[in-house]
Chain A
């Protein structure tokens, strides 16, 4: 009874709305990140040392761009990106305003994870596929990507969880979502009850993401 009355002042409609916003930001951003980051990861892999298109200069340029974006703190990126965000979505506010910076901020991170996952594929597999007369395209799509699938799924899981914490920061530009709610009510208005609810929900979200990711990794590792 005491516990329930402690949360009596929590606005559950607002919580529901925030949860919804977080989910929308998370999954739309994740879709774009995979769409952009997977090819970028493959390109990084191909141009990296001892790989099929080994090219020091191209790789150095790509790696530098990726590193620059990765080294900008996300909170700064959010603000720097505002003009571009407005250009793309027409607003820098709300869920729509949060998605471009989330995608830009996280894609390089994901691409690096993909590159690493691809590099984990045994060189012998590539050699064997080459010996069958495969084109580079076939080597990537028929051998390297299927073999790296567990690693790529693990990369998606890590990225999704990173995104959860980034969506909270996106609250700074008025993005909405659970993190935003927790800052506005829990921190700025001293409503500890709201903060507890949002944090618990975030913890559950992260747990569920990790669980799904782990399940999929096991499913795709035929070992």
Chain B
């Protein structure tokens, strides 16, 4: 469990204190994939680096598994860091070392295993990330996705309990991003590893995270389970992220719908409800006709969801609303 207790951070730039993180408290449960989303400068990178103290907090406490990380001396901190893996946007692999030597580096630095044991572990790790045949290559000979897989193997080498991901997919194309995210989800499932990731893409949050914190101007403005935050965003920043992901412009949509007759509602289905034949049933029973104005059916991590914007005309409108509300869907009346 990672706990931020009233943690804040200010940078001193040219004699002036610039706040990077306002006092923040937050708990990240074990085994979770926790996402921090925000635009650049929102403080997400600072927050991530406070966990392994690559950034020193200006105040407050960070407690990991009951131990106050902020009180560690340099030896304790080094041992703690060996238990926390980290991957980076630009991979940060050593160009002068082979793939295998890069993966072995944290073990060599820790100095606890023999060369034979290290080699065995490296072979295992490279197999896990699907790079066994590239062990003797240098990073420059690999693609971006492969480099990040090396980064992941390296981060996992010391069997950490926590994995920190610093914009791990931001330098990758969409297809590679998907495969790297899949690998992260797999690792989280199989190794029961707690993952904290930062990103500026809602899509990344949607695919792998369990919980999300939305950050803006040095503070968390929205926090909750991904489905909750994604489907019912409250804060303006969150709404913007969701719209970016769906590539929908709310104002444009409102203009388009202006000419549509009848009432307009937005229905949000989650889980099994997504595949239930609700619309047809309600239409038949209440005589309300519908047309679909906009919609999306997708998954949030493993949960299917659907979000449809409908125009409803004729029939018994009240009864239809009542039926939708009674069913396992969330209804918003837009007009």
CA distance A135 to B77 in the complex (A): 10
Q: How large is the interface on B (under 10, 10 to 19, 20 to 34, 35 or more residues)?
A: 20 to 34
**B80 touches which one: A127, A133, A222 (CB < 8 A)?**
A133
Q: Mark B95-137, 1 if CB is under 8 A from A, else 0.
A: 1110000000110111000000000000000000000000000
Asked if B272 lies at the interface with its beta carbon under 8 angstroms from chain A, I say: no
Nearest A residue to B89 via CB reads A124
Chain A residues positioned under 8 Å from B96 (CB to CB): 146-147, 149, 220, 222
Q: Taking the nearest CB of chain B, how far is it from the CB of A155, in angstroms?
A: 16
Tell me if B94 and A130 are in contact (CB < 8 A). no
B54 and A131 form a contact (CB under 8 A) = yes
Q: How far is the CB of B147 from chain A (nearest CB, A)?
A: 12
Say whether chain A's binding surface is mostly helix, strand, loop, or mixed.
Answer: helix
Distance A133 CA – B81 CA, assembled complex (angstroms) = 5
B94 touching A124 by the CB < 8 A rule?
Answer: no
One digit per residue, 1 when the CB lies within 8 angstroms of any chain B CB and 0 when it does not, for chain A 112-151 equals 0000000000101101111111110010001100110100
Give the complex CA separation of A135 and B158 in angstroms.
Answer: 16
Q: B81–A223 contact, CB under 8 A?
A: no
Evaluate contact between A131 and B81: CB separation under 8 angstroms.
yes
- B235 interface residue (CB < 8 Å to A): no
A132 B109 Cβ-Cβ under 8 A: yes
Interface positions of A from 78 to 130, Cβ below 8 Å from B: 122, 124-125, 127-130
> Is B38 part of the contact surface with A, judged by Cβ < 8 Å?
no
* Cβ-closest chain A residue relative to B79: A133
Q: A128-B88, A131-B86 are in contact. Are A222 and B79 (CB under 8 A)?
A: no
Q: How far is the CA of A161 from the CA of B106 in the complex (A)?
A: 39
Partner of A130, one of B80, B81, B95, B158: B81
Residues of chain B with a CB closer than 8 A to A122's CB? 90, 92
Closest chain A CB from B115 CB (angstroms)? 15
Residues of B within 8 A of A138 (CB): 109
Do A142 and B108 form a contact, CB below 8 Å, given A127-B54, A147-B95? Answer: yes
Q: A124-B90, A124-B92, A131-B84 are in contact. Are A142 and B105 (CB under 8 A)?
A: yes
A129 to B151, CA, bound (A): 12
Are A128 and B108 within 8 A (Cβ)? no
Residues A222 and B95 in contact, CB atoms below 8 Å apart: yes
- Minimum distance in angstroms from B167 CB to a CB of chain A: 12
Q: Could you tell me the distance in whole angstroms from the C-beta of B99 to the nearest C-beta in chain A?
A: 11
Contact B52 A131 (CB under 8 A): yes
What 12 additional pairs, Cβ within 8 angstroms, besides A131-B84, A143-B105?
A122-B90, A125-B92, A125-B94, A128-B88, A131-B86, A133-B80, A134-B78, A134-B109, A142-B109, A147-B96, A222-B96, A222-B138
8 A-B pairs closest in CB distance: A133-B81, A128-B92, A222-B138, A124-B92, A133-B78, A131-B86, A132-B106, A133-B82
By a beta-carbon cutoff of 8 Å, the part of chain B in contact with chain A is: 52, 54, 77-82, 84, 86, 88, 90, 92-97, 105-106, 108-110, 138-140, 158, 164
Some 6 contacts from A to B, beta carbons below 8 A apart, are A125-B92, A132-B81, A133-B80, A134-B109, A147-B95, A220-B96
